[in-house]
Structure 1
Amino acid sequence: MASAPDTIDRRPYWAIQLDSPPKRNLNAPRPRDPPGYTASSSSKRQASRPSLTRKPPTNAETDTLKIKKSWELAIAPAKQLPMNAIMMYMSGNSLQIFSIMMVFMLFKGPIMGLVQTNQVFTRFETEGTRKTLWMVKLVYVAMQLAALAMGLWKVNGMGLLPTTRSDWLAWEIARTARERTIFAFR
């Protein structure tokens, strides 16, 4: 039996084609332009624009953009309120692990947001935006407090807030009676 020569490629045909792509035929016709496209109109547009470089934005434009982005960031906690309200409604008022975790997350987010208020807005703070950024921060804090209020509402609904007189019975002083009634046996 004769052995196969080493020059035979044992790879599949498609793998061999990937190594050597077909040569492009320069005489082949170009595909037609899509309807509504004319080559002359695109060349006119390019001729009317001498350069495609963009001017850098001015400080006023940059400050305006930073204020807009900071307002979006300040309103973001309010966008989460409806979803949090639905989740709190669905978790119920009983003391279960799911409802306790939901309440924990409802408190954790706003508290961390309140603590990190200045850090959140440092990237937007410049000389031009410093005057208006305090109002944005105030709205951000108000939205975080609204989320905290929703957490308090949920905790009250679960019965964990001491809001009734019976919750404070340990500190009640026993009343002294003005009269006593003694049963007499006849």
Structure 2
Amino acid sequence: MRNTQKSRKWHIQVPHAQTNVEDPLGYTKTIPVISSGSTASKDAQSGAGNQQLQEKKAWELAQSPFKTLLMTGFLMWMSGNQVNIFPIIITVMALINPFKALFSTNAVFKSFEEEGVAVTLPKLVYFGLNCVGVALAVYKCNNMGLLPQQSDWANTTPLEPQEFSVPIL
């Protein structure tokens, strides 16, 4: 054992704990007891606080598509309007993700409904922001030329059939 201590370059000896060390500012050794009325009022206050917290979480969840909307819009802007593999992948993902979110709206807010939180307005905000995401992706598809436009059909005339068939009676 002596040999291993000599082979170490650094060795620290910690002195025994001192008992005359003062407590830091703001530290108290006792736990303050706050008594305010009955336990029923405490339960009502904590229930109301929990309800407000759940409503706040529901609104945060309802506004979460806005963050993805900004990121997706930036990615689509950076990818350009060429018809290449990367812009198409980004545009397809921009279409698929809001549709998935639209179809799972009730599942997303199910836990809040079980708590008794009114989630009608957060659901509408969530639905609306996802619809904006779909509209942004459709606009990108239009700019890339992936959607049919009026100029695609401007100079076309209906073709006359070269053959026709008649049923035998």
The equivalent position to 1:109 in structure 2, one of 72, 83, 97, is 97
Cα distance in 1 between the residues matched to 2:17 and 2:107: 61
Residue in 2 aligned with 1:89? 77
Residue in 2 aligned with 1:128? 116
Residue in 1 aligned with 2:164? none
The two structures have a TM-score, normalised by structure 2, of 0.71
Residue in 1 aligned with 2:46? 58
The equivalent position to 1:138 in structure 2, one of 111, 124, 128, is 124
Residue in 2 aligned with 1:9? 3
Cα distance in 1 between the residues matched to 2:14 and 2:146: 75
Structure 2 residues not aligned, in runs of 5+: 35-41, 161-169
Cα displacement string for residues 46-100 of structure 1 (whole angstroms, at most 9, x for unaligned residues): 57x326xxx6653332222111111111111122222322221111111111101
**Matches of residues 173-184 of structure 1 in structure 2 within 5 Å?**
173=158
- Give the greater-gyration-radius structure (CA): 1
The equivalent position to 1:24 in structure 2, one of 3, 12, 16, is 16
Cα distance in 1 between the residues matched to 2:3 and 2:109: 64
Cα displacement string for residues 137-156 of structure 1 (whole angstroms, at most 9, x for unaligned residues): 11111110100000000000
Residue in 1 aligned with 2:106? 118
Task: Tell me how far 1:160 sits from its aligned partner.
Answer: 0.4
Cα distance in 1 between the residues matched to 2:4 and 2:115: 70
Cα distance in 2 between the residues matched to 1:157 and 1:126: 43
Aligned length: 152
Task: Tell me how far 1:102 sits from its aligned partner.
Answer: 0.8
Cα distance in 2 between the residues matched to 1:25 and 1:112: 60
The two structures have a TM-score, normalised by structure 1, of 0.65
Q: RMSD across aligned C-alpha pairs, in angstroms?
A: 3.4
Residue in 1 aligned with 2:68? 80
Residue in 2 aligned with 1:3? none
**Matches of residues 145-164 of structure 1 in structure 2 within 5 Å?**
145-164=131-150
Report if aligned partners of 1:162, 1:168 keep a CA contact under 8 Å in 2: no
Percent of residue pairs identical: 29
Task: Tell me how far 1:161 sits from its aligned partner.
Answer: 0.4
